[in-house]
Amino acid sequence: MTDHVPTQDDVAAVFAFAGLTVTPERVTEHYETYATTLALIRRASPPGLGETVPAVAFSANWD
């Protein structure tokens, strides 16, 4: 697997997919942290399953 570095658009898309409102300014301000975290998640994803989305969109309710 190659070392893919997510673009700012990739980072924004992940937040949008998770239903999180993050301003473009905040994405720009914290881009390096977000991109590094997403790259780490990508490297840790099981090869046989392909891309996996971070669990930020997971809702653990007991209702």
Higher pLDDT, 26 or 4: 26
Considering the domain boundaries, does residue 55 fall inside one?
Answer: no
**pTM (2 decimals)?**
0.64
Give the distance from CA 43 to its chain's centroid.
Answer: 12
Give the count of domains, the chain.
1
Domain that holds residue 43: 8-48
The three-point CA angle 18-22-23 to 5° equals: 150
Considering the domain boundaries, does residue 63 fall inside one?
Answer: no
**5-58 pLDDT, tens digit each:** 889 999 999 999 989 999 999 999 999 999 998 888 877 766 666 555 555 555
**Residues whose CB falls within 8 Å of the CB of residue 46, separated by 6 or more in sequence, listed in order:** 52
pLDDT of residue 35: 93
pLDDT of residue 46: 66
pLDDT of residue 45: 67
**Distance (Å, whole) CA 51 – CA 43:** 10
Considering the domain boundaries, does residue 28 fall inside one?
Answer: yes
